[in-house]
Each structure stands twice: as structure tokens, then as C-alpha cells.
Amino acid sequence: MATQRSRRLRKKLCVDEFQELGFELSFNYKQGQNEETIGAFMQRFAADAVEPNDLVYSGCDEYGFICLARRGSVTAQQREWVEGWLKQQPELAQATVGPLVDAWYPDQPVNPPGQ
């Protein structure tokens, strides 16, 4: 059953043309990394990969979620840039970057661009 909503309500609910996208991350560190090294990595991650791209990270030092620092969606280019940055980090054995998903309703499909 399709729900008829006003533009104002769709915007408040972040649905349809106001859908906001983000992506999940998980980190696997190389053996022997201590808390100080991991803490320094997370600070560098925030300063070099997240904040310059107008993104925010919510989570811990093993997994989290990235979304835009303002209203709107993370772009595929921003996601790829973060993934590329993570691949260059010596502390990580592996970093998994998930696909773009609806930040508010993760079970909802992602709308095609321009909808």
C-alpha cells in the first residue's frame, strides 16, 4: 500500500527524494597493535579521511557508520575515497567498507539517483 505524504513530511522523515545514504565500516588490525597505536590511527582517520570530506563517523575502533555531516547523502566518490585511504594504512590488516545504504531506514532499498 503506497502512502501519500506531503513534501514537508517526506523531508522530515528522510524518505523518497530526501533519502540520506551512508555506509558501514569495519577494521581488522594487524597483530601486536596496542591501544595507543589504534587511538592514534582513529584520530588520523578522523582528521585525514572523515572531516575533510564533510563526513562524520559514529562507532568504535572496530566498526562504525559514516554519513554526511549535514543533511544529504554520502556520494559514491566519497565512499571510494575513504576506502582508498584505508587501504593505505599500515595498522590495518583489513578494512571492510560496505555499500551505500539508507542511513535512517537500513532495510529500505536505495533510490536511484535523481529520484
Please give the residue range of the domain that contains residue 92. Answer: 21-102
Evaluate if residue 115 carries a pLDDT over 70.
no
DSSP designation for 100 = P
How confident is the model over 27-64, as pLDDT tens digits? Answer: 999 999 999 999 999 999 999 999 999 999 999 999 99
> The CATH number of the domain where 44 resides is what?
3.30.70.1230
Mean pLDDT of 9-32: 93
Q: Give the count of domains, the chain.
A: 1
Distance CA 78, CA 82 (A): 6
Q: What is the CA radius of gyration of the chain?
A: 16
pTM: 0.89
Evaluate if residue 86 carries a pLDDT over 60.
yes
In a domain, 28, yes or no: yes
In a domain, 111, yes or no: no
